[in-house]
Amino acid sequence: MTMSVPQLSPDRMDEFGRELDAIRTRIVADLGTADADYIREVVVAQRRLELAGRALLFAGWFPPAWITGVAALSLSKILDNMEIGHNVLHGQYDWMRDPALNSQTFEWDMVCPSDQWRRSHNFTHHTFTNILDKDRDIGYGILRITDEQKWHPYYLGNPLYAAAQAVFFQWGIMFHDLEADLIVKGERSWTESLPLIGPMLRKSARQVGKDYLVFPLLTGPLAPVTFGANVTANLVRNLWAFSIIFCGHFPAGAETFTVEETDQETRGEWYFRQILGSANITGSPFFHLMSGNLSHQIEHHLFPDLPSRRYPGIAGEVREICRRYGLPYNTGSLSRQLGSVARKIVTLALPSGGDAAAASARQPSGAAADPA
């Protein structure tokens, strides 16, 4: 860790953990019709937006229809990815016993197979959040995102790698599970990754066929126009998902940890790490909806299997707990958080960038993290 945070005594840490456990217990006991109605309404809205977008592209020769169609399709893909897919795959709605919203059978509008994503994200990332050499989401095997990653000339391309990852984000998420960086280092063999390739090829073939072959051909002579619309909608979704996810994990003030620091971690210490390693983004209710409520990344990392619609309601309570225990509650606008991520990516491209990034992380809480 680079930031100065209170060192809680074992008893105090246990008390901290019990307070957060109590929030989870209360919410689980209160789950019911309102939560089920909410996610079903979001699914209906997503499907209507997709239908509207596809219909408008049949008149894609008319610029307003093309622009409106792309906008509707983009919103549909964002909702499917963020508020529906991500959250359903976390098991947030398994309690409903609805096969259409079950984490083990749900498939989303992304090239990454859902079952592979559940393993790499639900288990690896959420269990070992921000632990170097355990959480592969730290830099995604591509970027230098913390000064604790040893510098190499390869990282001079940090900004370019980040830009490419943003543009091709869904593909980056899919290939991430292959752990190609470990194969290059000799720490993993291709034979270990081979079982993943078949499902990846089948899922990506379905997605590419749907977006870039079937739907364009359905519009006849407008196929090239529809093709361009689908490319644009996927690009919008990729850029949006990249921005939200990076702002929740890598802005100034987000901490990383070593394996030694987290050895034999208690429940309270696990909560402690989730808070220090995550960051929120302020915004309107519509903004939170379109982010899948990952704008409440702190609450999501504390309670990843609670319905995301509950995060805004408990955010104030979590923030108050942080205040009483002297912990930072990292939150800020999208522009502020995204700006700090961009600065970190650029500065860490250089050998001396680690010092600048560390200094940025230690800046007064009013800049990158609101005082808790």
- Mind giving me the DSSP string for 63-95? HHHHHHHHHHHHHHHHHIIIIIIIHHHTTTTGG
pLDDT for residue 180: 75
**Are 253 and 368 contacting, i.e. CB atoms less than 8 angstroms apart?**
yes
Amino acid at 11: D
Q: Tell me the three state secondary structure of residue 332.
A: strand
The dihedrals phi and psi of 143, each to the nearest 5 degrees, come to: -100, 155
pLDDT for residue 193: 81
pLDDT for residue 284: 97
Report CA Rg, the chain: 21
pLDDT for residue 5: 73
Rounded CA separation 55/228 (Å): 15
pLDDT for residue 7: 85
pLDDT for residue 357: 57
The series of mean pLDDT values per 10 residues for the chain, 372 residues long, is 73 97 98 98 98 96 97 98 97 97 95 91 91 89 91 96 96 85 75 87 96 96 97 98 96 92 92 96 97 98 98 98 96 97 96 64 44 42
> In the structure encoding, which two tokens stand for residue 216, read together?
């364009």
pLDDT for residue 175: 87
**Are 294 and 82 contacting, i.e. CB atoms less than 8 angstroms apart?**
yes
What are the residue ranges spanned by the domains of the chain?
A: 1-372
